[in-house]
Amino acid sequence: MKKKNLYLPLALLMLLSFSLNPLRAQSALEDISTIKHGIKSKRISSFDRSGGNNDRFERIAPGEKRTLADIKGAGTIDHIWITMSPEAPRLNRSDIILRIYWDGNDYPSVESPIGPFFGQGWDETYSWASLPLAASVVKGNAMVCYFKMPFATGARIEIENQADINIGAFYYYIDYIEQEKPAEDMAYFHAWYNYQVTVAPPEGENEWGLLSSEVGKNPVGENNYKVMETEGKGQYVGINYYVNCPTPIWYGEGDDMFFIDGAEKPTMNGTGTEDYFNSSWSPNEKYQHPYFGYARVPDEIGWLGRTHCYRFHIDDPIYFDKSLRFTIEHGHNNYLTLELSSVAYWYLDKPSKLDPIPSKEERKLKPVINFLDMHRWRDQWRKNMGEGTNPWGNEQIPE
């Protein structure tokens, strides 16, 4: 069977997005057709300084940190490309930490496992593409970023190997422009990773009211999963969102809630997780648009397993003057136990210190439920139905 070309439809989508937004297309085309002054293109890469072909860092040991770039002066990073070996899952991309420091600060304003940052959830690689981020061929092993990252006096990028094995080979490009002075009203790029195995309430995982007709309410976002929280003036520009669902039930009845400038109730309240990601009706199919989509879905038994969805606010940033907190319910009224992780992306008027990301032990991945587990569930159902019964498996529990 001939493989489908997944990138041709995406290219057409990108062209369509520009045709639907001619001002954006015109702006981009005008920008590259205008002579620039006071800037110079620069690159830092892993090329072989001897002129040979060993263009990589080698044998980065467990616990070791490596500086990829240490740039002095004003400039803007406009492209990052990375690939590494061994391949996943042997080398788990969630165990390699990416950090970026702005203007000589001793704290990072970007901190995330490298896989989730580039849209590679869990211990997997797979190809996908959006406007600012992508994982390219072969098998999603080429990680690409086009987010603009300006800085006033310097930028430092490092990785830390928190895996239990060596990074055998690490290749990278960091392309940037050197500027005579910082741009006016410059905003600093931020990204933060979170991970949580959420806890269902004592009354059980009553999604869709399957267990009880008593369905609770959550008007203020209590116990929601936290995507990001920051102080300062800026704009939120997107998310990579990863869900491992241990049950076939739909995981996404939870609403997205934005709390702007210290609001106690949501300033912006959504209607369901899939609605925030510009989809509908409990989706379970791959779809890739430059701004939003589903890069990975289980598509086997309901929504059991791993889903990666993304949403980038390129034309519709979420603006705030003092602070922003963004949360999502894990199921309606936070009914569901889910393995959730995310990387949020935003810009601020100054570099900000992030909350610590979960440790390696705290973010240890949960396995995917399989058919053997489901057979054990059936065995427990039979036992709970009582001796002398021969249940088929979809009987209703007596009231």
| Domains observed in the chain | 38-184 (2.60.120.1390), 187-208+221-386 (2.60.120.1390)
For the stretch 49-98, pLDDT in tens is 999 999 999 999 999 999 999 999 999 999 999 999 999 999 999 999 99
Residue 8 pLDDT: 47
Q: What is the rounded average pLDDT of the residues 234-241?
A: 98
Query: Is the pLDDT at 288 greater than 90, yes or no?
Result: yes
For the stretch 124-150, pLDDT in tens is 999 999 999 999 999 999 999 999 999
By mean pLDDT, which of 67-81, 143-157, 281-295, 366-380 is the weakest? 366-380
If we measure between CA atoms, which residue out of 213, 200, 238, 204 comes closest to residue 330? 200
Whether the CB-CB separation of 75 and 150 falls below 8 Å is answered with yes
Structure tokens at 130: 């959006």
Residue type, 108: P
Distances (CA, A) of 13 to 159, 206, 291: 33, 39, 10
Query: Using alpha carbons only, how large is the chain's radius of gyration in Å?
Result: 23
Q: Vertex 274, ends 271 and 275: CA angle to 5°? A: 45
DSSP string, 182-193: PPTT--EEEEEE
Residue 363 pLDDT: 95
Whether the CB-CB separation of 335 and 205 falls below 8 Å is answered with yes
DSSP string, 170-186: EEEEEEEEEESSPPTT-
Q: What is the pTM of this model?
A: 0.92
The model's confidence at residue 6, banded by pLDDT at 50, 70 and 90, is very low
Residue 390 pLDDT: 83
Whether the CB-CB separation of 252 and 278 falls below 8 Å is answered with no
Burial letters for 294-326: b for 16+ Cβ neighbours within 10 Å, e otherwise? bbbbbeeeebbbbbbbbbbbbeeebebeebbbb
Structure tokens at 62: 């467990």
168 CB-near residues (< 8 Å, 6+ apart): 58, 59, 84, 85, 86, 91
Q: What is the rounded average pLDDT of the residues 254-268?
A: 98
Rounded to the nearest angstrom, the gap between the alpha carbon of residue 234 and the centroid of all alpha carbons in its chain is: 20
Q: Is the four-CA dihedral 305, 286, 93, 237 of positive or negative sign?
A: negative
Query: Is the pLDDT at 109 greater than 80, yes or no?
Result: yes
Residue type, 234: G
Structure tokens at 156: 């430092």
Q: What is the rounded average pLDDT of the residues 10-16?
A: 49
Query: Is the pLDDT at 101 greater than 60, yes or no?
Result: yes
For the stretch 175-218, pLDDT in tens is 999 999 998 899 999 999 999 999 999 999 999 999 998 899 99
Q: Is the four-CA dihedral 385, 391, 395, 398 of positive or negative sign?
A: negative
How far apart are the C-alpha atoms of 51 and 49, rounded to whole Å?
5
How far apart are the C-alpha atoms of 340 and 198, rounded to whole Å?
7
Q: What is the rounded average pLDDT of the residues 33-52?
A: 94
For the stretch 154-176, pLDDT in tens is 999 999 999 999 999 999 999 99
Which phi and psi angles does 26 have, rounded to 5°?
-60, -40
If we measure between CA atoms, which residue out of 310, 383, 301, 377 comes closest to residue 342? 310
The model's confidence at residue 118, banded by pLDDT at 50, 70 and 90, is very high
How far apart are the C-alpha atoms of 240 and 313, rounded to whole Å?
12
Query: Is the pLDDT at 269 greater than 60, yes or no?
Result: yes
How far apart are the C-alpha atoms of 344 and 191, rounded to whole Å?
5
